[in-house]
């Protein structure tokens, strides 16, 4: 049968041999990004099983002791339009629907893959208007956080965040 070329075999072997190290870095970056996002008032929610706030946190710790992966979702305050602006403002992360790449990838389904749906249809499909899916890559953590920070600044009006913080303090 057909055989793989020498260069392809070498690259495949390199990938297999370095997979554990790359996965460790994916998991470290994903947890740090999720923690950072959860603490940011411009973010309405974070769904990552590696965070104690997630309903399946204990299960994830039991079955995935190194971490629950590098793909998760979060909400950008401001809904569909803020999500669209957030994606457009990113400079490091790639706007792609794939997951599991070595680079950080993001997508806002409400303005892309599900952009033709009404708010009611999005809700029925379980896709929040503010939902952003992120596949955290291997870039330097500070670079990833910088990119998310500047994109959130472009997408979320500061006065709206201030009002949300004040209303949360009143409760």
Q: Judge if pTM exceeds 0.85.
A: no
Among 47-51, 54-58, 113-117, 137-141, where is mean pLDDT lowest?
113-117
DSSP state of 52: T
Q: What is the pLDDT of residues 17-40, one digit of tens each?
A: 888 888 899 999 999 999 999 999
Q: What span, in angstroms and rounded, lies between the C-alpha atoms of 62 and 72?
A: 19
Q: Name the 3-class secondary structure at 74.
A: strand
Residue range 151-167: average pLDDT?
71
Q: What percent of the chain has pLDDT over 70?
A: 91
Show Cβ contacts of residue 76 under 8 Å, excluding neighbours closer than 6 positions. Answer: 42, 43, 44, 82, 83, 86, 108, 130, 132, 152, 155, 156
DSSP state of 109: G
Show Cβ contacts of residue 134 under 8 Å, excluding neighbours closer than 6 positions. Answer: 33, 71, 72, 73, 74, 93, 104, 105, 106
pLDDT at 170: 55
pLDDT at 62: 97
pLDDT at 164: 53
Residue that the structure tokens 């997951």 belong to: 99
Show Cβ contacts of residue 170 under 8 Å, excluding neighbours closer than 6 positions. Answer: none
pLDDT at 89: 96
**Confidence class for position 167, pLDDT limits 50, 70, 90:** low
Dig out the tokens for 74 from the structure.
């979060």
Dig out the tokens for 55 from the structure.
């309903």
Residue range 67-74: average pLDDT?
94
pLDDT at 130: 87
pLDDT at 160: 52
pLDDT at 168: 56
């Amino acid at each position: 049968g057909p055989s793989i070329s020498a260069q392809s075999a070498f690259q495949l072997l390199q990938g297999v041999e370095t997979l554990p190290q790359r996965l460790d870095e994916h998991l470290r970056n994903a947890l740090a990004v999720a923690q950072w996002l959860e603490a940011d008032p411009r973010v309405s929610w974070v769904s990552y099983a590696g965070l104690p706030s997630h309903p399946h946190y204990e299960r994830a710790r039991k079955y995935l002791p190194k971490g629950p992966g590098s793909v998760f979702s979060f909400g950008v305050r401001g809904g569909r339009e803020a999500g669209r602006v957030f994606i457009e403002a990113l400079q490091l992360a790639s706007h792609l629907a794939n997951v599991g790449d070595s680079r950080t990838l993001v997508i806002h389904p409400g303005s892309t893959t599900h952009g033709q749906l009404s708010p009611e249809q999005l809700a029925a499909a379980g896709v929040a208007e503010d939902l952003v899916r992120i596949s955290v890559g291997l870039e330097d953590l500070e670079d990833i956080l910088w990119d998310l920070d500047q994109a959130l600044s472009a997408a979320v009006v500061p006065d709206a965040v201030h009002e949300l913080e004040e209303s949360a303090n009143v409760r």
